[in-house]
Amino acid sequence: MQEASQRKGSRIVLALDFSYEVPQNRGRILVKAQSILKNVHPYICAVKINHHLVLPLGTFDGVQQLIEQIHRQGLLAIMDAKVNDIGATNQTIAQYYFSAGFDALIANPFIGWEEGLRPLFKVSQLLNRGMILLCYMSHKGANEGYGQTIIDPETGEKTLQYISFAKKAVKYCADGIVVGATCPQKILEVKHVVSGKVPIYSPGIGAQGGTAKEAVKAGADYIIVGREITMAADPTKAAEWLLDSIKGI
């Protein structure tokens, strides 16, 4: 990621998100995704793909075509699977997505380490791929889970769930951690916990109310931007404007 970011002169991760299309029109989604990638790749360093693009296009069909295009353009491909199951299932999920060409997966640390995250990290390390953990999501209801107060099982002290997840990301040597751009103060707090050992990815720019500039100022290493670019009248200009807005910060 660092190499791609430096080479491209960008810390923008494009979330290739689109609204629902009836199954008969799914071919149109692929064409649109390919077109946007072709036009905005000079302004981004990676692409994040979510379930709602995999579902209509297929992991080893349209999505694999997109991954090949992403790699040809010198970018990395992140699968936002939010993996959240038992270890055996998680391992199989990871193997399929990595076989399709993804460079990293996003997983939910709520599942714990033993028979949860551990198989994911094992597969990613064997294949030299990345694991990114959720820490605090960008939607309003995130506080109900990621923001709850818990008792640290090791110290017996009260702490916040997202602070606990930030500490675990360091402990597990995660390749990234997700903190919503809608909560700049939480980015600051997590930045202090990870102390530069784990890069911070911040989604929620634009449509959800977060701003790229505030996220970067708070300590985000990469910003994840979806609808602000994909739904723009001119995605190229939108990406260029976003890049210009955070240069020099």
Share of the chain above pLDDT 70, in %: 100
Task: Report how far residue 218's alpha carbon sits from residue 108's, in angstroms, rounded to the nearest whole number.
Answer: 23
> Domain with 184 in it: what CATH number?
3.20.20.70
Share of the chain above pLDDT 90, in %: 86
* Helical spans, DSSP H, in the chain: 2-8, 26-40, 51-57, 63-72, 87-99, 118-126, 161-171, 184-194, 212-218, 227-230, 235-246
- Residue 27 pLDDT greater than 80, yes or no: yes
Q: Which domain holds residue 126?
A: 2-246
Residue 98 pLDDT: 98
Contact in structure between 33 and 16 (CB atoms under 8 Å): yes
Task: Report how far residue 78's alpha carbon sits from residue 47's, in angstroms, rounded to the nearest whole number.
Answer: 6
User: 149 by DSSP, 3-state: which?
Assistant: strand
At residue 21 the predicted structure's pLDDT band, cuts being 50, 70 and 90, is: confident
Cα radius of gyration (the chain): 17
Contact in structure between 130 and 173 (CB atoms under 8 Å): no
From the candidates 8, 32, 38, 82, give the one annotated as an active-site residue: 82
Task: Report how far residue 30's alpha carbon sits from residue 200's, in angstroms, rounded to the nearest whole number.
Answer: 29
Task: Report how far residue 87's alpha carbon sits from residue 112's, in angstroms, rounded to the nearest whole number.
Answer: 10
Contact in structure between 162 and 146 (CB atoms under 8 Å): yes
Structural domains in the chain (count): 1
When the pLDDT of each residue in the chain is averaged and rounded to a whole number, the result is 94
Out of 119-123, 132-136, 151-155, which region has the weakest mean confidence (pLDDT)? 151-155
Would residue 82 show up in a list of annotated catalytic residues for this protein? Answer: yes
Residue 24 pLDDT: 81
- List, for residues 171-214, the tens digit of each pLDDT value: 999 999 999 999 999 999 999 999 999 999 999 988 778 899 99
